[in-house]
Amino acid sequence: MVRAKATVLHVDLDMFYVSMELLRRPALKGKPVIVAGGLGARGVVNTASYEARQFGVRSAMPVSRARQLCPGGVYLESDYRYYGTASKQFHAILRDFTPLVESAGVDEAYLDVAGTEMLFGDASAIASEIKRRITAEIGINGSVGVSTNKLVSKVASDAGKPDGLVVVAAGEEAAFLAPRPIRELPMVGPKLADALARMGVTTIGEIAAMSSRSLEERFGQFGRELHARARGIYSAPVASGRGQAKSVSRETTFGTDVADRERLRAVLRGQAERVATDLRKQDRGARTVTLKLRFPPFETLTRSATPGPMLELADEIYAVATDLFEKAWGANGRRPVRLVGVGVMNLGERGRQLRLGEDLSPDHLANTVSRLRERFGDEVIHRAAEIGRGRHFDH
């Protein structure tokens, strides 16, 4: 369906983690600031200030590489609890304008404001008010793109950074995208960009000018989708409600590789408890459990299992996860592990029935632990075996 009006917004908080750090460290404004998930050899950059980006520092870059590029930068370790509070404020602001909010992460979301004009004005007015409230209530800036669909709005918000507002009117999608570099089109990664460059294609408009058939012959069905997106055609709607996640997961990267079976199982236990807490907050259960293992240097494997009944409790998730772990770790020679993670998928409504002879004591324990972590943070309580030598980073 082609929309007659641009009513889809993409709101993105500008360099979110860095901006939050500058709120409490204003003396760092104007300096190259890098916020990372761990500052050791295995730390990874989460966000870099624009000053740091001038040195080539980028998100997802190893901290060791960032220090080579920007040795004079200010390096700060991520404070996820602090950022989480602001993220909740951010999403609450958006839901004041429409229930059609789809979260795309802690610092960005899509909205569909169709039908709210009588209350708040047109999409451009709503975007301006959202930007004002983010600055007034959180203290940082955000950029907003407005168009007829999520894809074009995403490109528009990126084009407006920092602190910008870009509106693409209905019917102007292809013209807006045409002069932009191909890497700005969502779904075009480095390998695809290289392949297109070898074909002499460097702008989104040049992709749109090609025939759908030629792109399909070169890239398969993916080529047909690429052609449509290059013309600003994208039909996926903004998810209704609060944009519930399709999966929940927790991972731990170890400061020193771990080959201690009991330590690894203890970390899995802690992760299962945190995943179960997240499910409880969403009033949901899961049917599939996933395991992620990474061996040095960057060899990663994933395993999953769907036992059948809806899983809600930490013990249930842990049992499936450890079974996956023992099989996968054993098949790989019980080598030292750099990262371990537990996740759940195929989420659904919570509604577990008690089995014969079962009581609610596991639920009571899980709820107690959950309330403690919700009030004081994840680090307030650990199982004893979960604490081992060498620092680790949860995310």
Residues known to be catalytic? 108
Give the three-class secondary structure for 144. Answer: strand
Which residue is it, tokens 């404070």? Answer: 79
DSSP readout, 266-288?
A: HHHHHHHHHHHHHHHHHTEEEEE
Residue linked to tokens 């930490």? 314
Angle 80-95/16-24 helices, nearest 10 degrees? 110
Given CA atoms 340, 345, 350, 352 in this order, what sign does their dihedral have?
Answer: negative
Q: Where are the beta strands (DSSP E) in 162-242?
A: 165-167
What DSSP element (H or E) covers 33?
Answer: strand 33-37
Beta-strand ranges (E) seen in 189-310 are: 248-258, 284-295, 299-305
Give whole-number Cα distances, 118 to 79, 126, 149, in Å. 40, 11, 21
Number of neighbours of residue 311 by Cβ within 10 angstroms: 26
Dist CA 366 CA 208 (whole Å)? 54
Let me know: does 36 contact 75? Beta carbons within 8 Å: yes
Measured distance CA(177)–CA(252) in Å, rounded:
39
- Whole-angstrom distance, CA of residue 247 vs CA of residue 63: 28
Q: Alpha carbon of 9 to those of 5, 63, 99, 121, 165: distances in Å?
A: 12, 33, 13, 14, 10
- The answer to whether 342 touches 290, Cβ cutoff 8 Å, is yes
Q: Which of these, 333, 342, 266, 322, lies nearest to 295 by C-alpha position?
A: 333
Please tell me what DSSP assigns to residue 311.
B
Q: In what order do the strands lie in the sheet with 165-167?
A: 101-103, 108-112, 8-13, 142-147, 165-167
Instruction: Record the tokens describing residue 353, joined without a space.
Output: 């029935």
